[in-house]
Amino acid sequence: KIRPESEALLNELLGLLQQNPKLKLEFSGHTDADGDEAANLSLSKKRAEAVIAWLKGRKAAVDNLVAKGYGESKPIASNKTAEGKELNRRVEIKVLTE
Q: What is the mean pLDDT of residues 21-43?
A: 96
pLDDT band at residue 1 using 50, 70 and 90 as cut-offs: confident
Average pLDDT, the chain: 95
On the question of pLDDT at 36 being above 70, the answer is yes
pLDDT at 98: 59
Q: Who wins on pLDDT, 62 or 1? A: 62
Nearest to 92 by CA among 79, 77, 80, 76: 76
Q: Please give the model's pTM, rounded to 2 decimal places.
A: 0.92
Nearest to 47 by CA among 93, 1, 95, 94: 1
DSSP category for residue 97? E
On the question of pLDDT at 81 being above 90, the answer is yes
Nearest to 65 by CA among 1, 14, 5: 14
pLDDT band at residue 35 using 50, 70 and 90 as cut-offs: very high
